[in-house]
């Protein structure tokens, strides 16, 4: 089985449950962090797919590692290597492939409903999901699908919550986070919860029934991310 290359950007946002899925499907996992060390272009050779995790940052004011990662995204697309982007990873993917990224009207933080589009109900990665489900969010920016991509999911806080583009899948929301990762985000970025904007939950709301919520998210990941992995 060919390996999957996972790019991480923040200690609070590791591959989490995605790594469990990779192990279950017997995909070797190679991790890289361009924040810490650059990589050679040859790193893409022999990869079955690429996963781009979340983290802080603004892709419209990119630092060196963001520019490098977007270059690798473009190269992977040209090489027909499938890409999964999560949160910041999806924003990097959109920017690199011709979409737009901009600040949202408000932060979106906490557990929020996700609504599938009619196109998603016909798509093999999404067709077995419920038409609406809850997922964890923590982002200040939103993205548009690149030209030719199909919108797969939406909600009132961010019009584009997911899109499919050829072999690529972009998710604004998180299905991979374990309880401890959410707790670390709450500790590290607690200032994001101030002011009570409409799409930001309190810490109490985020932590309420969190074990059950995470298990439900993992079950959705089994279907959605699992389907993407099985298509590689």
- Give the pLDDT confidence score for residue 197 in this predicted structure: 87
- Give the pLDDT confidence score for residue 10 in this predicted structure: 84
Q: What average pLDDT values come out for the chain (232 residues) when binned by 10 residues? A: 93 92 95 90 95 96 95 97 98 98 96 98 97 98 97 97 98 98 95 90 97 98 98 94
- Give the pLDDT confidence score for residue 35 in this predicted structure: 86
Domain that holds residue 179: 4-230
The total number of structural domains that make up the chain? 1
Q: In CATH, what number is assigned to the domain containing residue 157? A: 3.40.50.880
Q: Are 44 and 72 in contact (CB under 8 A)?
A: yes
| Residue whose tokens read 């022999």 | 46
Could you tell me the sign of the dihedral formed by the alpha carbons of 118, 124, 128, 134, in that order? negative
Residue 150 phi, psi (nearest 5): -110, 130
């Amino acid at each position: 089985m060919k390996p999957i290359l996972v790019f991480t950007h923040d200690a609070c946002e590791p591959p989490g449950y995605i790594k469990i899925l990779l192990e279950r499907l017997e995909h070797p996992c190679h991790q890289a962090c361009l924040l810490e060390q650059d990589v050679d272009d040859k790193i893409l050779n022999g990869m079955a797919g690429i996963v781009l995790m979340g983290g802080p940052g603004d892709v419209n004011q990119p630092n060196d590692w963001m520019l490098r990662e977007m270059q690798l995204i473009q190269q992977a697309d040209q090489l027909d290597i499938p890409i999964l982007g999560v949160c910041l990873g999806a924003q990097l993917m959109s920017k690199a492939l011709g979409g737009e990224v901009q600040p949202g009207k408000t932060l979106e933080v906490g557990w929020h409903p996700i609504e599938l589009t009619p196109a998603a109900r016909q798509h093999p990665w999404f067709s077995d999901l419920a038409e609406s489900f809850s997922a964890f969010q923590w982002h200040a920016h939103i993205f548009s699908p690149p030209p030719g991509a199909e919108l797969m999911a939406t909600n009132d806080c961010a019009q584009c919550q997911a899109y499919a583009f050829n072999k690529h899948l972009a998710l604004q929301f998180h299905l991979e986070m374990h309880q401890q990762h959410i707790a670390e985000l709450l500790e590290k970025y607690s200032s994001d919860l101030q002011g009570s904007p409409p799409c930001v939950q309190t810490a109490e709301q985020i932590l309420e029934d969190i074990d059950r919520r995470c298990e439900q998210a993992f079950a959705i990941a089994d279907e959605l991310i699992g389907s993407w992995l099985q298509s590689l």
